[in-house]
Structure 1
Amino acid sequence: MRGFLAAVVVSVMGLAAPAAQAETLADALASAYRNSQLLDQNEALLRAADEDVAQAVARLRPVISFVAQAQNVESNPNSVQDGLSKTFQLAAQWTILDFGRNRIGVEIAKETVLATREALKGLEAQVLLSAVSAFVDVRLQAEIVALRQSNVRLIGQELQAAKDRFDVGEVTRTDVAIAEARLAAARSGLAAAQGDFKVARERYKAVVGDYPGNLAGLPPLPATAKSMEEARMIALRTHPSILQAQRQVTIAGLGVEATKAAMRPTVDLQGAIRQNLDTDSRTDSLSLSFNQTLYAGGALSSAHRQALANKEAAQANLLQTTITVGENVGNAWSALEVAAVSIQAGTLQVQAAQTAFDGVREEATLGARTTLDVLDAEQELLDARATKLQSEAQRYVGVYNLLATMGLLSVEHLNLGVPTYDPALYYNAVKNAPVTSPQGKKLQRILDKIGD
């Protein structure tokens, strides 16, 4: 029986490649990471957040502008200034004092980058968990198909045996009809299992990037926490959602400081060089301006109150995120315990069902059991095997789910040996808002590398 099931699994999964070329779970995880459009999308969003830092830094610097103007002047017939007036102007403006308004903007942008990085880590865990689930599900559905094929074969044998006994008058036509009905139901179950297998293959392709080929056996499970409390403590320190929420609290606090700074004055320095080409005259100017908003219709006070409310919301979100992460760890741990117990019970159930089936089948040959008894025993054995396979799959995926809830499901933690996206590479290239040619060329090389 086991040899037959193994042969069927091989035929179902279409393993045409040599065993040495089997696709491992690590291969699937690496492919899912490389091919994930979700990660590509959010890596691009992270680079966009990096540019916010560059733009915030740029606001600390002077703005220099060049204006060329041609103006047609018509006043009176005797004016010497009539005609086309051409001027060029080079102007600069620099906010030299804003009570930290722009500096706070830089800090907000930096904290937003760090929060976005944590969000990217959370998405990485989702992608890897989906890959594990897809890999295990393909193998599970293949094994279910093998069980269903075995079921059809065995019921076919029982039908033939019932027909043989009917021919010699040992059973009635009813026994043959029961076997025929069970065979039709078994074929229907096989068709459904094959459909589930195709669905699993499509999901695998969507997650990993290609259809599954020769899938290797499942590797040993990665280590996790020794207790649920240890898992919770690790999650509180490392889970990306909590770390992201902490950054959001910091951002909200800086937002409050920004609204305070917005109520204070600014001091701007302006300078200009203006050249009139018609009169060949040049005018230089330098000015210092003090700006203070005295009345804005209550907008500044409203913005400050809004920032305080956003800060309270961010703090509440952090607390709720901590609660949710702890709950998810507890649920994942409980699911693992349930799966472990189910596997133990399933093992005993399969053993008992196998013994019962063998005994009923032997008794049927002696006339002590009916065809229906044999078919019932075979169905119980099939259900027991399928339940055990499902429990084993749930436990395997459950371990990776526990790692995800602990914040440890990552390419680095799993040691997959895959080149990973380095968020600091682009950030370091743009954080100072580069404008010079050497920096621009360096940035272009980074962009080309990311594009590859």
Structure 2
Amino acid sequence: MFRKTLRTLRRPLIAALLAGATALPASAETLADAMVAAYRHSALLDQNRAVLRAADEDAATALAQLRPVVQWIAEHGFQKIEGNIGRSTSIGLQAQVTLYDWGRNAIAIDAAKETVLATRAALVGVEQDVLLGAVQAYLDVRSATEQVDLQANSVRVIGQEQQAASDRFEVGEITQTDVSQADAALAAARASLAAAQGNLEIARESYRAATGRAPGTLAPPPPTPALPASLEAARQIGQRSHPAIRQAQRLAAAAELGVAAAAAERNPTLTGQASIGRSRELSAQTRLEGTRDSLGASLSLSQTIYSGGRLPSAHRKAMARRDEARGALLHVSRQVDEAVGRAWAGIDVARAQIRAIDEQIVAAQQAYEGVREEATLGARTTLDVLDAEQSLLEARADKISAEANLQLAHYQLLAAMGLLTVENLKLGIPTYDPSAYYNAVQDAPYTSRQGESLDRVLRAIGRD
């Protein structure tokens, strides 16, 4: 049922993103283009991919604890006894391996794997943030551009009103006060235009930071993505898909394993050791020189009987960390529910605002035209005309903001449900494979064949 719901949402979502790319100039940038650029440009994604690779290495390190440690040892000694000089030189190989630790290393490996999966989920969360930031930057540039056009048109219209007021003053139809009101309104419109142009430059810089390039001609936003059937359905999707919940679940599992690992620290450890070497010695007493070869092996079984309270304290700490992770999972779950509800409410509010503003614009347009006509007959003052024009301007500006909020709320809902990813949006670009590096290092490679495979993965990461 859940997968069917995702497929039902995905098809209209993809169509919505691609719709903005049809019937547009070749140079127009679509919302999908902005998200692709942000995904490829983001240094935050690069940073968190490196964090994931470090977590992959932690899993390899945990596995390596089960393998032998081989090291060479060289020694040289010198002594002088009653004027006689003696010396010894030795070189050898020594290997040590943990033969059995009653599950301690196995638990550590499982915990490291859970941490890897949690870090992968965190990377998906960062990807969502990057794409949502691109959507926000794209819509900000679009709405800021429309606001500049609107304010520029207002300056033009009020300039015409100011010129008309001056002409009427010249023939004695109105007073100097009316002309001054028109002059003030024109100055205010120019100030608003300057502010709108400043906001556009700020939005352009935000777009450059998000995508790595300055915005060109931006295409109109595509149709809004399809919504789930109900708010409750959206919340269920969020609980199943949101990366923050998946991350918290994995961290809770890792914390549970941490409790088991702390308990396992009380268990014995069986280790084996083998050595081979050769030594050459000159005795200071006998003045005889000889060479000896040595070969040895040993088993060692040890267990901590008393640790001064360290092990019980570590066990209690692990249980506290487990409770912390469980509480964090519950908290994140509630946060996701809240985010879905907020986005859903934002969509409803923006839709209601647009409907009301459309009615406001129709009424304000009629009022403006009526006041202008009445002013030509002397029944209205210049101030009345300017007030009507300002009301119409504010209504149109509010609609620009409401339409941008409606678009943004849809993508905020996708992010709250955990669906705002390159893969789910089908943006048609190669994506980072979080398992490639793990697969190359999970066996703690040292041999040349594994090293060559790892080199290929690292080169691919560099190209990305």
TM range (shorter): over 0.9
Give the equivalent residue in structure 2 for 1:210.
213
Partners of 1:443 and 1:85 in 2: CA distance: 43
Q: Does residue 23 of the first structure (1) align with residue 29 of the second (2)?
A: yes
Give, as a single letter, the amino acid of the residue that structure 1 aligns with 2:371. Answer: V
- 1:15-49 per-position Cα deviation (integer Å, ceiling 9, x unaligned): xxx92121111111000000000000000000000
Q: Does residue 118 of the first structure (1) align with residue 121 of the second (2)?
A: yes
What RMSD, in angstroms, separates the aligned Cα atoms of the two structures?
A: 1.1
- 1:30-87 per-position Cα deviation (integer Å, ceiling 9, x unaligned): 0000000000000000000000011111001111111122222333445xxx444221
Give the equivalent residue in structure 1 for 2:265.
262
- TM-fit CA distance, 1:317: 1.1
- TM-fit CA distance, 1:448: 1.3
Partners of 2:406 and 2:388 in 1: CA distance: 27
Give the equivalent residue in structure 1 for 2:361.
350
- TM-fit CA distance, 1:312: 1.0
- TM-fit CA distance, 1:359: 1.2
Percent identical: 54
Q: Does residue 276 of the first structure (1) align with residue 279 of the second (2)?
A: yes
- TM-fit CA distance, 1:306: 0.6
Give the equivalent residue in structure 1 for 2:225.
222
Q: Does residue 408 of the first structure (1) align with residue 457 of the second (2)?
A: no
Give the equivalent residue in structure 2 for 1:179.
182
Within-5 A mapping of 1:42-57: 42-57=48-63
Equivalent position to 2:65, from 41, 59, 84:
59
Equivalent position to 2:388, from 377, 392, 402:
377
Equivalent position to 2:301, from 268, 278, 290:
290
Q: Does residue 70 of the first structure (1) align with residue 76 of the second (2)?
A: yes
State the SS of the aligned residue for 2:361.
helix
Partners of 1:447 and 1:407 in 2: CA distance: 29
Give, as a single letter, the amino acid of the residue that structure 1 aligns with 2:385. Answer: V
Give the equivalent residue in structure 2 for 1:6.
none
- TM-fit CA distance, 1:202: 0.6
- 1:100-127 per-position Cα deviation (integer Å, ceiling 9, x unaligned): 1111111111000000000010110000
- 1:205-224 per-position Cα deviation (integer Å, ceiling 9, x unaligned): 11111110111121122223
Give the equivalent residue in structure 1 for 2:111.
108
Equivalent position to 2:447, from 426, 436, 452:
436
- 1:261-312 per-position Cα deviation (integer Å, ceiling 9, x unaligned): 1011101101111211443211111111111111111000000011111111
Partners of 2:408 and 2:388 in 1: CA distance: 31
Partners of 2:127 and 2:169 in 1: CA distance: 62
Partners of 1:396 and 1:114 in 2: CA distance: 32
Equivalent position to 1:96, from 92, 99, 115:
99
Give the equivalent residue in structure 1 for 2:154.
151
State the SS of the aligned residue for 1:21.
coil
Q: Does residue 424 of the first structure (1) align with residue 430 of the second (2)?
A: no
- TM-fit CA distance, 1:316: 1.1
Partners of 1:73 and 1:204 in 2: CA distance: 75
Give the equivalent residue in structure 1 for 2:14.
none
- 1:182-234 per-position Cα deviation (integer Å, ceiling 9, x unaligned): 11111111111110000000111111111101111211222231211000000
State the SS of the aligned residue for 1:419.
coil
Partners of 1:384 and 1:373 in 2: CA distance: 17
Unaligned runs of 5+ in 2: 1-23, 282-289
Q: Does residue 129 of the first structure (1) align with residue 94 of the second (2)?
A: no
Give, as a single letter, the amino acid of the residue that structure 1 aligns with 2:329. Answer: L
Give, as a single letter, the amino acid of the residue that structure 1 aligns with 2:225. Answer: P
Q: Does residue 33 of the first structure (1) align with residue 39 of the second (2)?
A: yes
**TM-score (structure 1 length as normaliser):** 0.94
**TM-score (structure 2 length as normaliser):** 0.92
Give, as a single letter, the amino acid of the residue that structure 2 aligns with 1:176. Answer: V
Partners of 1:143 and 1:165 in 2: CA distance: 33
Partners of 2:223 and 2:426 in 1: CA distance: 14
State the SS of the aligned residue for 2:81.
coil
State the SS of the aligned residue for 1:23.
coil
Partners of 2:460 and 2:402 in 1: CA distance: 44
Partners of 1:275 and 1:221 in 2: CA distance: 78
The more displaced of 297-306 and 365-374 is: 365-374
The more displaced of 244-253 and 63-72 is: 63-72
The more displaced of 164-173 and 360-369 is: 360-369
State the SS of the aligned residue for 1:234.
helix
Give, as a single letter, the amino acid of the residue that structure 2 aligns with 1:383. Answer: E
Partners of 1:194 and 1:305 in 2: CA distance: 60
The more displaced of 317-326 and 399-408 is: 317-326
Partners of 2:347 and 2:223 in 1: CA distance: 16
